[in-house]
Amino acid sequence: MKGGCRIALIRIATVQWWFMRGRRIEEAANSITHAAGFGLSVAALVLLVVWTADQGSARQVTAVSLYGAALVSLYLASTLYHSLKGTKAGRLLQLIDRSTIYVLIAGTYTPFALVALRGGWGWSLFGVIWGLALVGILLVNLSVRKFPVLTCVLYLGMGWLSVIAIVPMLERLPAVGIAWLFAGGILYSAGVLFFMSRKFLAHTAWHLMVLGGSACHFLAVCAVLQ
């Protein structure tokens, strides 16, 4: 009987060891992927600000600064959260991490609303998307675990809100910009499936989809500025 208990305890300990090892591997992968995104987002911010300051208007500089700052904030928050997950700072960093998703969505809309659309459509879209971002941040800070489905629905709803302005967007955005914009939206949307999954490395896959979506939207912003 004692031998059987000992074997059972060894098996439990082995399973726990593999689980913790897998968790450490996944968190390392999560940190590395978005640390790379942080470096790229800083480069993107500098490039866009220098470009618009040299050739664009004050409106363009402001729009790309908001977009670039949102991009940097998301990747920095995500990198810090996954690097320090399980520590005392982890809970606060998780709230910041989830909040910056809404900030990035609104920030990404900003160049399209203020530079490409402008006028009534542009300012309306700008106001609505940033208003929804504030609602999302409020939900996250009320309880990151209490509204998981609602927060994901809000992510997706905000991401595809641009379809209400599809006609003026088709008129004012270059075709290549539209293509990159929707390609990014598809990658982000598909990535939500991994975001909701508990499977091993699913969250890392979500990070990779976010990187791909960010790259597509960066190219879309560049198309708007040309």
Tokens 């470096």 belong to 39
34 in a labelled binding site: no
- What HEC string does the chain produce? CHHHHHHHHHHHHHHHHHHHHHHHHHHHHHHHHHHHHHHHHHHHHHHHHHHHHHHCCHHHHHHHHHHHHHHHHHHHHHHHHHHCCCCCCHHHHHHHHHHHHHHHHHHHHHHHHHHHHCHHHHHHHHHHHHHHHHHHHHHHHHCCCCCHHHHHHHHHHHHCHHHHHHHHHHHHCCHHHHHHHHHHHHHHHHHHHHHHCCCCCHHHHHHHHHHHHHHHHHHHHHHHHC
Q: Would you call 55 exposed, middle or buried from its count of C-beta atoms within 10 A (0-12, 13-18, 19+)?
A: exposed
The annotated binding site for Zn(2+) is made up of 82, 203, 207
The annotated binding site is made up of 82, 203, 207
